[in-house]
Amino acid sequence: MNELNEHAEFLSDAELSEAAKQQRHLTERIAHASSPFREIVTQINHVLVGQSHLVDRMLIGLLTGGHLLIEGVPGLAKTTAVASLAKAINTGFQRLQFTPDLLPADLIGTQVYRPQDQTFVVQKGPIFSNLVLADEINRAPAKVQSALLEAMQEHQVTIGSETFPLPEPFLVMATQNPVEQEGTYALPEAQTDRFMLKVIVDYPNREEELLILRRMGKTGTKLEVDAVASPEDILAARTLLDEIRVDEKVEGYIVDLVMATRRPKAYGLELDGLIQFGGSPRATINLTLAARAAAFLAGRAYVLPTDVRSIALDVLRHRVMITYEAEAEDLTSESIVQQILDHIPAP
């Protein structure tokens, strides 16, 4: 839905001409600013087979500054995808292997005493990077998870009495294994809500598996990724997101989707007793930002309902907590969100 066409009948010819000119100019700027992202995808595809959904969500996270929780069994190239993204934009990258004995200081840094001048100096931790891969985040204890919380939400870290800003762009991409639960610490709701998107990584299909075999089934195979973008390109693209138009009807659609997770009965959904609590206002904000980013990557200056629908499952699946009754009926938060998407009509 093009907002300009939607309200054309209320505009004079001069106003319509000026609005069309502004939208055309914005579209041209978006096309120019989004070209590095297309180059990034090309470079990642030199290394990664399939996983286009994951790559698209990583770019949306980069554009919006929203963090990703990536869930999938081992061996699906989650780490490779994040490392390839860092190389393609020529920026800092740190991989942190989360373990039960990890301490907050191992993540954010600490104060080190220097006996020669009898002072404490700050030794910054690996969190001070642009792209941070928190591998198997649910293996770290609660203290480490809460230390990561401030960094993700505030983009700053407190060490002792000093607060240090994190470099921009800053993005945390955390992975977790859905199968093996022994020795893990479930992420609390406050932590999962800080992730803009929860992305489920699935197995490749047969054709993709054959391509993986032919590309990687040799000893010594090493595929390289060229740097085709810079952090400045990412930050420049972010400034355009707020200019992408969201029509009132699309805004209403976003609000209805989130409200339906809280009060399903008001929307004619038979989900009584199945939802413990739904999406917070942060879900509404994130869904809007992610839809804007999806429109940007498509080269458009306005958001379509299909942009909202395409990203809604990844934004909402970890924000809808189900009850024991729902579990007894073999329902999941994902299936409930899908019911809501199927029921609420798009404008």
Q: Is the peptide bond before 169 cis (omega within 30 degrees of 0)?
A: yes
What does pLDDT average to over the chain?
Answer: 85
Task: Give yes or no for a contact between 316 and 277, defined as CB atoms under 8 angstroms apart.
Answer: no
Burial (Cβ within 10 Å: 0-12, 13-18, ≥19) of residue 100: exposed
The pTM of this model reads 0.86
Task: Give yes or no for a contact between 313 and 258, defined as CB atoms under 8 angstroms apart.
Answer: no
Task: Find tokens 């404008």 and name the residue.
Answer: 347
Superfamily classification of domain 3-243: P-loop containing nucleotide triphosphate hydrolases (3.40.50.300)
Check pLDDT > 70 for residue 87. yes
**First CA to last CA distance, the chain:** 9
Superfamily classification of domain 244-347: Magnesium chelatase subunit I, C-Terminal domain (1.10.8.80)
Sequence-separated (6 or more) residues with CB below 8 Å from residue 44: 55, 81, 84, 85, 88, 225
Q: Where in the chain is the domain with CATH 1.10.8.80?
A: 244-347
**What does the alpha-carbon distance between residue 151 and residue 204 come to, in Å, rounded to a whole number?**
33
Determine the average pLDDT of the residues in 16-34.
Answer: 80
* pLDDT of 303: 94
Could you tell me the two tokens for 139?
A: 């293996």
Query: In the chain, what percentage of residues exceed pLDDT 70?
Result: 92
Task: Give yes or no for a contact between 147 and 106, defined as CB atoms under 8 angstroms apart.
Answer: no
* pLDDT of 309: 95
Of 68, 67, 126, nearest to 94 (Cα)? Answer: 126
Could you tell me the two tokens for 92?
A: 């800092």
Q: What would the pLDDT profile of 190-237 be if each residue is shown by its tens digit?
A: 778 889 999 998 888 888 888 888 877 776 667 788 888 888 888 889
Check pLDDT > 80 for residue 185. no
pLDDT confidence bin for 252, thresholds 50/70/90: very high
